[in-house]
Chains A and B, each alone.
Chain A
Amino acid sequence: MTAQQIIFLIVALYTLGSALMVVTTRNLVHAALWLVSTLFGVAVAYALLNANFIAVVQVVVYIGAIAILFIFAVMLTRKDMRDAGPQMNSNWWAGALVAVLVFGGLTSLLSGWSGFQNTAAALPSGFDAISLLGESLTSPEAFVLPFEVASVLLLAALVGAVYVAFNKK
């Protein structure tokens, strides 16, 4: 067990534990805070994969914006400060069964792939992920079109969200 493997195991167990708390805890604000902890664990996983720009963007976008949006939405859609009623469906065993089957199916499907046990190649020295990412996102031979379409999508979502949630008095 190398140090890297131990660190990955700790991070993975922490993230999966937080994710389980997200979907099982009764108090919705606690669920949103457990989501923050899960997102943080995922950011650490990105850092372990040497994708540090993606890790920092994960913290800024997900924790700094999306998780806060969730907390606001939870606080704005409740009549009092407590959560009433059961928080799981009556068919929760069926949902659990489907989740376990999906997990089993995914792992068995992937383990049949030849590259399943690959190890990571060492990154070339002087590897500047940020400038390469910038070039891929803005170069016409690479991915400038999906980038521009994503920005139009964000504009549409911005206008739509403001219009839908607008309180016409």
Chain B
Amino acid sequence: MSFWNDPLKVAADWLEGVFAGWGMDAILAHVLVAFLGVFLLITILMVLDIFLVWIERKVVARFQDRLGPNRLGPFGLIQPFADIIKLIIKEDTTPGGADKVVYNLAPVLSMMSVLILWAVVPIAPVMLGTDLNVGVLFLIAAGAIGTLSIIMAGWSSNNKFAMIGGFRQVAVMVSFEVPMLAMLMIPVIFAGSMNMNAIIDAQNVWYFFISPLGAVIFLIAAIAELGRAPFDLAEGESELVSGFNIEYSGMKFGMFYAGELLHAFTFGGFWAILFFGGYRFFGLEQVSPFLAILILVIKAMLGYWVIMWVRYTMMRIRIDQMLGFNWKFLTPLAFALLLVTALMNALLAGASTWLYVFGMFLANVVTGWIALEIARSATRKERASVEGPKPVEAHH
């Protein structure tokens, strides 16, 4: 067990030895080392967050056919640091009549709900925060805390626009948790366990190829959970004066903004873990844990890029369209897909791998095609009832 094979355990054991040498008893040393590990992870994530700001601005610039920040430092790399300095030196206002404790607690809870997700992300075969056997459900639980923080922010600002924005965002988040939960069950059905490591280990064929419709629905529900376009009615700058964020300035707003970017990257990571094999890449991850971390970060960046691509390509959807889309199309489709997946999994239980993959893929495509046909015919009927019958053209 050398440093390159299992760095965390070697470092933890060495540190515990040092603390025991100083005279601390074993349990206290263990707890202290665990705290240091958490502190290290959070520091790395926050530093990553700074570069996510840079990546976001560069990528949006390239999508919009411009260059992005390129004045500060090479390729504009110092730009996020300038942003941080600006946010820190801004005046930290609290609106009069606001509920001070709740107002100050909301950005903290929002950031906490994102950081806590990384406790169950397996970044390498031997490096994992905590090996919960309900890791998949933990994702939804952390989303619940994020939802709570938004409604706290919206209400405590003592501002009607903030409250409406907060209500809308929470309604969207709570609604889209339903198809997301159903789609989280699909890797669980395939792997037979809710443990994140078990799901990664079982992905000899990436689950994206076995259940593409599941991956797509999970992506749509995740983008809605994140509150990013096209579902960003609550905090788009041109809508409702940026929603629950209105009264927040300075570093408190910075925490919401940075938390949202880190949340998007985290969901890119979860999309990679659940549907693209996580840190696995044809056996490369067994070579060294650092290689596994690199593979996971690359896949998470690709997922994050897809989420950014959707953001900067699609228009914003209205709140009633969002909720109608969820309850009338996405949730029935998600549950139908879950039923079809469970049925096909039981039917193809003993089949060979290629037959299984092909059968599931076909079932997914058929389900998606049927759903689209139903949606298309419903749209045709609605359009006919609104526009009236088309006039018959005279043929020559």
* Chain A residues at the B interface, C-beta cutoff of 8 Å: 3, 27, 29-30, 33, 36, 52-53, 56-57, 59-60, 63-65, 67-68, 71-72, 75, 81, 128-130
Nearest-Cβ distance from residue B190 to partner chain A, whole angstroms: 15
Distance between Cα atoms of A33 and B140 in the complex (Å): 19
Query: Which of B27, B155, B158 is close to A3, meaning CB atoms less than 8 Å apart?
Result: B27
Residue of A nearest to B101 (CB): A30
Chain A residues lying within 8 Å of B155, measured Cβ to Cβ, are 29, 71, 75
Chain B residues within an 8 Å CB radius of A67: 148
Shortest Cβ gap from A132 to chain B (Å): 12
- Asked if A60 meets B158 with Cβ closer than 8 Å, knowing A65-B174, A68-B151, A71-B151, the reply is no
Q: Which residues of A contact B194 (CB under 8 A)?
A: 130
Instruction: Name the 9 nearest CB pairs between A and B, nearest first.
Output: A64-B144, A59-B141, A56-B137, A56-B134, A60-B140, A63-B144, A60-B141, A56-B141, A53-B134
Q: What residues on A are CB-neighbors of B140 within 8 Å?
A: 60, 64
Q: How far is the CA of A23 from the CA of B9 in the complex (A)?
A: 46
Q: How many Å lie between the Cα of A27 and that of B155 in the bound state?
A: 13
Instruction: Report Cα–Cα, A29/B151, bound state, in Å.
Output: 11
B144 touches A52 (CB 8 A): no
CA–CA, A81 to B156, complex, Å? 10
A33-B137 contact, Cβ under 8 Å, with A64-B174, A68-B147, A68-B174 = no
Q: Which residues of B contact A64 (CB under 8 A)?
A: 140-141, 143-144, 147-148, 174, 177
In the bound assembly, the distance between CA atoms of A133 and B138 in angstroms comes to 18
> Chain B residue with minimal CB distance to A27?
B99
A102 CB to nearest B CB, Å: 31
The reply to whether A57 and B137 form a contact with Cβ atoms under 8 Å apart is yes
**28 A-B contact pairs sorted by A residue (CB < 8 Å):** A30-B99, A30-B102, A33-B102, A33-B152, A56-B132, A56-B141, A59-B144, A59-B145, A60-B137, A60-B141, A63-B148, A64-B140, A64-B144, A64-B147, A64-B148, A64-B177, A68-B147, A68-B148, A68-B170, A71-B151, A72-B151, A72-B170, A75-B163, A75-B167, A81-B97, A128-B133, A130-B134, A130-B194
Are B134 and A60 closer than 8 Å at their CB atoms?
no
A107 to chain B, nearest CB (A): 32
Residue numbers in B under 8 Å from A57 (CB-CB): 137
Contacts of B163 in A (CB 8 A): 75
Chain B residues at the A interface, C-beta cutoff of 8 Å: 27, 97, 99, 102, 132-134, 137-138, 140-141, 143-145, 147-148, 151-152, 155, 158, 163, 167, 170, 174, 177, 194
The complex places the Cα of A29 from the Cα of B154 at a distance, in Å, of: 12
Q: A64-B177, A65-B174, A75-B155 are in contact. Are A52 and B141 (CB under 8 A)?
A: no
Whole-angstrom distance between the Cβ of B98 and the nearest chain A Cβ = 10
Closest to A29 in B: B155
When chains A and B are docked, how far (Å) is the Cα of A28 from the Cα of B155? 12
Closest to A76 in B: B167
Q: A150 vs B327: C-alpha distance in the bound complex, in angstroms?
A: 22
Q: Is the CB of A52 within 8 A of B174?
A: no
Known: A68-B148, A81-B97. 7 other contacts (CB 8 A): A29-B155, A53-B137, A60-B144, A65-B144, A65-B174, A81-B158, A130-B133
CA distance A68 to B167 in the complex (A): 10
Residues of A contacting B27 in the complex (Cβ-Cβ under 8 angstroms)? 3
User: Which residue in chain A gives the minimum CB-CB distance to B136?
Assistant: A56
Question: Which A residues are CB-close (under 8 A) to B138?
Answer: 56
Chain B residue numbers with a CB within 8 Å of A71 are 151, 155
| Docked complex Cα distance between A128 and B152 (Å) | 37
Docked-complex contact A52 and B134, CB < 8 angstroms: yes
Chain B hits for A59, CB < 8 A: 141, 144-145
Please name all residues of chain B whose beta carbon is closer than 8 Å to the beta carbon of A63 when the two chains form the complex.
141, 144-145, 148
- Give every chain B residue within 8 A of A53 (Cβ-Cβ): 134, 137
In the complex, chain B residues whose CB is within 8 Å of the CB of A128 = 133
In the complex, what residue of chain A is closest to B154 when comparing beta carbons? A75
A18 to chain B, nearest CB (A): 14
Q: How far is the CA of A29 from the CA of B177 in the complex (A)?
A: 24
Alpha-carbon distance between A124 and B174 when the two chains are bound, in angstroms: 38
Chain B residue numbers with a CB within 8 Å of A65 are 144, 174
Residues of A contacting B141 in the complex (Cβ-Cβ under 8 angstroms): 56, 59-60, 63-64
A60 to B113, CA, bound (A): 13
Given the complex, which residues of A lie within 8 Å of B177, measured CB to CB? 64
A144 vs B158: C-alpha distance in the bound complex, in angstroms? 48
Assembled-state Cα–Cα distance A39/B111 (Å): 20
CB pair B143 A52 closer than 8 Å: no
Instruction: Name the residue in B27, B155, B177 with the highest tally of chain A Cβ atoms < 10 Å from its Cβ.
Output: B155
B125: shortest Cβ distance to chain A, in Å? Answer: 21
Kindly state the separation between the CA atoms of A158 and B85 in the bound complex, as whole angstroms: 50
Complex alpha-carbon distance, A128 and B198, angstroms: 14
Nearest CB in chain A: distance from B280 CB, A: 24
Complex CA distance for A71 and B166, rounded to whole angstroms: 12
